[in-house]
Amino acid sequence: MANPIVGIFRVKELRERILFTVGMLIVFRIGAVFPIPGINVRELSRYFYDQVNSGNPIVDYLDFFAGGAFSNFSVFMLGIMPYISMSIIMQLLLIVFPSLKKISQEDGGRKKIQQWQRYGTVLVCLVQSYAVTQYARAISRSVENLLNIGIVPFTLIAMLTVTTGTMFLMWIGEQITKRGIGNGISLLIFAGIVARLPNAVYELVQMMKKGDINPVFVIIVFLMFVAVITLVVFEQQGQRKIPVNYAKRVVGRKMYGAQNTYIPFKINPSGVIPVIFASSILTFPLQIAQTVGGNLPWLAKVATLLSPREPLYNILYVLLIIFFAYFYTQVSLNPIEIAKQIRENGGSIPGIRTERIEEYLTKILNRIVLPGSLYLALIAVIPTFIQWAFKFPTSISYLMGGTSLLILVGVDLDTMSQIEGLLKMHHHEGLVKHGRLRGRNL
């Protein structure tokens, strides 16, 4: 009876939320294997099997974020990345255009911004789905009988099908967030990564049997895998506590005594959001360049330069992670708003003048975010190091380090923290001792 796993299913609300989430994730994985109408599945599988064996890093990279749906040419082959890309664009527009920010702060303004974001997602999907049809056309030139129908009908059907699939995934993510457990969009990416783990482990074992990979290198990488997970958990849970003192105040006929509390500033306030945002920004031009590059030589050159193994890609990746770490922290933890709330409630920070609270909080956040973002960037480029140092295949190195570990650990901590909160609310013991598990802002 004291088992927390048993306690999860004893709480009706939590049990229903978990089962709903699992059901939606099953629907997502089923849709990832349904191909677009007009595709010869047998010839497509043969082509991508040859691509994997020849080590095409771009195909592996696009397939990684789509949970294997890209190589299947499934209805979910774009994944949820178009929605994330549009979310980034909308956040930037809110900062650049004050009128949009003013609309978002009005009554019902947030729903209006979300509606515009959905319309923008449709446009992004149409552009990327057209690029996919061009990629299929390029493949059909080297593979006979890949398309069972003409290129024009296939283009229209593929654009409609893939766009609908991404919008359906967006709806699934919103429903999981609302009626399930955890952050829906992040869980979809999480499920796609987890679904590829068994195949990656099997491929690694087969390569060890053939002698293509030294078992000593596998042990070293596995130890790195465990060490990085430990460091990610430590970094995600670390925080800086800013003490705040509140003076006595009178509300009605009651006098409330002074309170001493603190503001928890995490070492990495934005969690895995910078990594997901940076990956999404780089995936969009990479996919366009890869799919249309066969017809335009300069785009083919761009696709080569943006390959995950190239130095340019990794430099841009690190810079974007640092940028989005600062950007998302300023959006979610605005020092001006925090200082305003402290002053309005009669609070003060010991040793800091009231009018200099914003400056103090900004300085603390900048000092925290910089090492946190550098740490994220360091972990994100681990797959490139594994490929270069140990000659691991791209599909395996992506799953055993870097971005995948950050997403897996971050989403797992966020989901566990929500389960912990619901268990506490129903007077059950949590998943961990002493309640030390802290949630994240995804």
Lowest mean pLDDT among 1-10, 176-185, 190-199, 330-339: 1-10
Element (H, E) at 206: helix 184-210
Residue 184 token pair: 């829906």
Confirm if 321 and 376 have CB atoms less than 8 A apart. Answer: yes
Q: What is the pLDDT of residues 43-99, one digit of tens each?
A: 777 777 665 554 555 666 677 777 778 778 888 888 888 888 888 788 878 877 888
CA 122, chain centre distance (Å): 20
Mean pLDDT of 134-157: 78
> 3-state SS string over 45-109?
HHHHHHHHHHCCHHHHHHHHHCCCHHHHCECCCCCCHHHHHHHHHHHHHHHHCHHHHHHHHCCCH
Helix/strand/coil for 266? strand
3-state secondary structure of 242: strand
| pLDDT over 90 at 20, yes or no | yes
Separation CA 391–CA 375 (nearest Å): 24
Residue 326 in contact with residue 369, Cβ under 8 Å?
Answer: yes
Res. 439: pLDDT tops 50: no
Spatial distance between the Cα atoms of 265 and 199, rounded to a whole number of angstroms: 39
Residue 434 has pLDDT above 60, yes or no: no
Angle between helices 215-237 and 403-425 (to 10 degrees): 40
**What is the identity of the amino acid at 37?**
P
Mean pLDDT of 323-331: 82
- Measure the CA–CA gap between 339 and 419, rounded to whole angstroms: 31
Contact 21, 187 (CB under 8 A): yes
The size of the chain, in residues, is: 442
Tokens of 94: 């809110």
Model pLDDT, residue 97: 81
End-to-end CA distance of the chain: 32
User: Please, what's the largest Cα pairwise distance for the chain?
Assistant: 85
Locate 108 and state its tokens: 């019902």
Position 1 scores a pLDDT of 46
**pLDDT tens readout for residues 359-400:** 888 888 888 888 888 888 888 787 777 777 777 766 677 666
In terms of Cα–Cα distance, which of 185, 196, 191 is closest to 22? 191
Q: Residue 56's CB: how many other CB atoms inside 10 A?
A: 18
Q: Using an 8 Å Cβ cutoff, are 159 and 129 in contact?
A: yes
> What is the model's pTM?
0.75
Per the CB < 8 A criterion, the answer to whether 294 and 369 are in contact is: no
- Cα atoms found within 13 Å of the Cα of residue 132, Cβ hemisphere only: 33
Alpha helix ranges (H) inside 345-381:
357-380
Least Cα distance to 64 among 397, 311, 299 occurs for 397
Residue 244, beta-bridge partner list: 261
Strands (E), 196-323: 239-246, 249-251, 254-256, 259-266
Predicted local confidence at residue 401, as pLDDT: 60
Does the pLDDT at position 184 exceed 80?
yes
- The confidence score (pLDDT) of residue 369 equals 83
Between CA 325 and CA 442 the distance in angstroms is 13
Provide the mean pLDDT of the chain: 78
**Can you tell me the distance from the alpha carbon of 422 to that of 415, in angstroms, rounded to the nearest whole number?**
11
Domain borders along the chain are 11-435
pLDDT tens-digit readout, 23-46: 999 999 988 888 888 888 787 777
Q: Are 225 and 405 in contact (CB under 8 A)?
A: yes
Number of H helices, E strands in the chain: 19, 5
Task: Look up the CATH superfamily of 11-435.
Answer: SecY subunit domain (1.10.3370.10)
d(CA 442, CA 221): 29
Supply the pLDDT for residue 54: 47
Predicted pLDDT of residue 47? 75
146 and 43 Cβ atoms separated by less than 8 Å: yes
Q: Is 334 helix (H, G, I), strand (E, B) or coil?
A: coil
pLDDT value at residue 441: 40
What's the rounded Cα separation, in Å, for the pair 35 and 22? 23
Strand order in the sheet with 239-246: 259-266, 239-246, 347-348
